Amino acid sequence: MQKIVPFLWFEDSKAEEAAKFYTSIFKNSKIVNTVRYGKSGPGLEGSVMSVTFQLEGQDFYALNGNPQFKFTEALSLFVNCDTQEEVDQLWENLKEGGMELGPGWVKDKFGLAWQIVPNLLNEYLSDPDPEKSQRVMQAMMQMNKLDIEKLKQAYEGR
């Protein structure tokens, strides 16, 4: 297991559902372990306490907590995408039951924020030519789901 693992607190016994949802969306993903409450609780005996899972080889720990803590956009999961097809697929799956937040950001049905970003965006935004990078920034700010072709057109000045 990795030294540092994101620990996700889900409310209303959603940890297992969330882990299954996420592992169904991302390739190279799996449920690693499910821990259930025993007789000593504090949850109902046999109910899920926590789930360890992997997305693209990255470990995550999901806990069934109570509703006192909620996810905010102050923490998001950043996903580098190689193709528009990957952007589209992840975006559509993650926004189902959730909502679009803005350029490249989507909140899933569990309230977790994700950034779905084409790999080339960082290259374009860090270009030493400020005209190119600013055109890309302006184009990006007009989008919810990022569109590689439109970003490329902005970069090239078309």
pLDDT at 2 exceeding the cut of 90: no
- What strand order describes the sheet that includes 30-36? 7-11, 58-65, 48-55, 30-36
Domains, the chain: 1-67 (3.30.720.100), 71-158 (3.10.180.10)
pLDDT at 1 exceeding the cut of 70: no
Q: Among 51, 65, 50, which residue's Cα sits nearest to residue 23?
A: 51
Per-residue model confidence as pLDDT tens digits over 91-146 = 999 999 999 999 999 999 999 999 999 999 999 999 999 999 999 999 999 999 99
pLDDT of residue 42: 87
Residue 97 Cα distances to 21, 80, 91, 92, 108, angstroms: 12, 22, 12, 10, 7
Peptide bond into 42 cis (omega under 30): yes
| Amino acid in position 29 | S
Q: How far apart are CA 33 and CA 16, in angstroms?
A: 10
pLDDT of residue 50: 96
pLDDT of residue 69: 86
Give the predicted TM-score (pTM) of the model.
0.92
pLDDT at 12 exceeding the cut of 70: yes
Q: From the centroid of its chain, how far is CA 84?
A: 16
Q: What percent of the chain clears pLDDT 70, i.e. is strictly above it?
A: 99
pLDDT of residue 86: 97
Q: How far apart are CA 93 and CA 113, in angstroms?
A: 13
pLDDT of residue 149: 98
